Amino acid sequence: MDGPTDASAGSGGSELAADSGPPAIAAADVHRSYGDTVALDGVSLSVSRGEVFGLIGPNGAGKTTLVRALTGTTKATGEVQVLGSPPTDVDPQRIGLLPQSFSPPERLTARELVAYYAGLYDEARDPDAVLDDVGLADASDTWYEKLSGGQQRRVCVATALVNDPDVLFLDEPTTGIDPAGRRALWELIEGLAAGGTTVFLTSHAMDEVERLADRVGLLNGGRLVATGAPADLIAEHGGAPRLVVDTAAGSNEVGDVGYPVEATAETLVFHGVDPVDIGQVVAALDAAGVDYGALAWKQPSLEEVYLTLAGERYDRPGGKGDGLGGTGESVPAAASATGGEGTAGDAGGDSR
């Protein structure tokens, strides 16, 4: 872990970005079990100040447990520091946390709720300004229980922003939020990051993580199995661009078109096809008399990285894979722990 602890250094995000102090978040060999269920199995990571770190992984991989370990809201073994100090020693003013599950009192208006959270801090932003930031200015007088699920989530995000934190933990911030709202929230997060706020977010939306994160960590079975910039992970694990052709034909019906071909129940997938060579494949299909429908050229994305490394490639019933993930090579079985919720062996005393 990095050196001197000075939790009082710097007061605003932009100052932190220029600060050469300890990383915003540092974890070394973090373990957490619930009874026999190993939720975190030796996680180590470091997040620089001003960085946006995206944590992805299958259900039950340990993402929420890691957020809780990093924020000191569950006990874990190993070492965790936020801004150079154990998380429970850091001034709460400097940390923002949006938990995955958050059930505020329902008979309060959005403004009253955000104002309540504002009152917990020495300094806080104007609740109306924060509600405006999350696109809820028009609903600020509505009771929480009368808001839609996505609006409720936005209020929860607002409560995490109200103290203008230096380090912001967002556990699945956009779940349930409509596409326009998601984009608005992305812009908000981008603005915070541009101002120097460190953001640690978890998400199942790969487009979200690919857009927002400077670095991504893939958690599987409680272990961090890959970390890197989205572009680097895609280059390393995403496979080649491919042409997906809707057809019931088998690969043996096409002949050799110069690209590895993979057949699924409803598609032929040609791997490594550059856009300029699509015509060559189409000509080969026509020459072979293959009956086909739509063609789609796809570049690898973070989703392919996820599907490959998490071993979660989707197989259609009766098919050999959807042809969209990875390189068509066999992938390891999912290693995620998916035990049920419960408190057995939860000696950690989760506190938030």
Ligand X SMILES: Nc1ncnc2c1ncn2[C@@H]1O[C@H](COP(=O)(O)OP(=O)(O)OP(=O)(O)O)[C@@H](O)[C@H]1O
Q: Which residues bind ligand X (CB under 6 A)?
A: 34, 37, 39, 57, 59-65, 100, 337-343, 346
Residue with Cβ nearer ligand X (60 or 84): 60
Q: Using the minimum distance from each CB to ligand X, give the nearer residue, 88 or 338.
A: 338
Q: Which is nearer to ligand X, 318 or 340 (CB)?
A: 340
Min. distance of Cβ 309 from ligand X in angstroms?
A: 15
Minimum CB separation of residue 67 from ligand X in Å reads: 8
* Minimum gap (Å) between residue 308 Cβ and ligand X: 18
**Residue 196 near residue 125, CB atoms below 8 Å:** no
Q: Considering beta carbons, is residue 91 or 346 the nearer one to ligand X? A: 346
Q: In the complex, what is the shortest distance from the CB of residue 30 to ligand X, in angstroms, rounded to a whole number?
A: 12
Instruction: CB nearer to ligand X: give 74 or 163.
Output: 74
Task: Closer to ligand X by CB, 83 or 160: give it.
Answer: 160
Distance between CA atoms of residues 326 and 313, nearest Å: 8
Rg of the chain over all Cα atoms, to the nearest angstrom: 23
Distance (Å) of CA 58 to CA 27, 52, 223, 305:
21, 20, 12, 13
- Choose between 15 and 350: whose C-beta lies nearer to ligand X: 350
